[in-house]
Structure 1
């Protein structure tokens, strides 16, 4: 199909509009970035990495654990009370139970002819 004068004009006007707003947008971005940098200087103070790591290590050492983590068997995926983890959905639990039953099942006697 041939391009109409109307569509050419619309395209031209869109380009003009795009250029006009891009200048405005760029100025806006620069202004916002400058404000953010100033605000950040007031709020945050930069520390060397060694200090930050030392503080984190001290906090980790000082932290006490209230509850002991549950221990799950890798084979059965159950804890010592026979419960499955909370994150495991019921479909996965059923699948695991089938798998365990299959592994516990003894092979039947084969008929010899």
Structure 2
């Protein structure tokens, strides 16, 4: 930002607002925590907490080293109708198992990713050639 008088004034006012609203937020959070503690005391007497709930299922991300794959969710009455094909996207290349990009991704971003992947592939080939040369010597 420029160092004009207006920008300096705005920065100063932002700091003051942050302080003022920070106090209000802190008070609200304290009230919420107190109410939650009161409600927990009431609920713990009435309803036992259950981990297995029919409406949701908590799924944790499996570790890479474990090598154990998770089972797919069972088909239920609330399952959305699809073409029956499960699409698994690679987080690095953003492509599915067939090599297609997601429908929601713009064509500009797809072109950018393809150029980046092409560049990285060339760098890997060059590095492999360098390693071969060093081994021969």
Measured against the shorter chain, the TM-score band is: 0.3 to 0.5
Q: TM-score, normalised by structure 1?
A: 0.39
Query: Which structure has the bigger radius of gyration?
Result: 1
Q: Which has the higher contact order (CA 8 A, sep 6+)?
A: 1
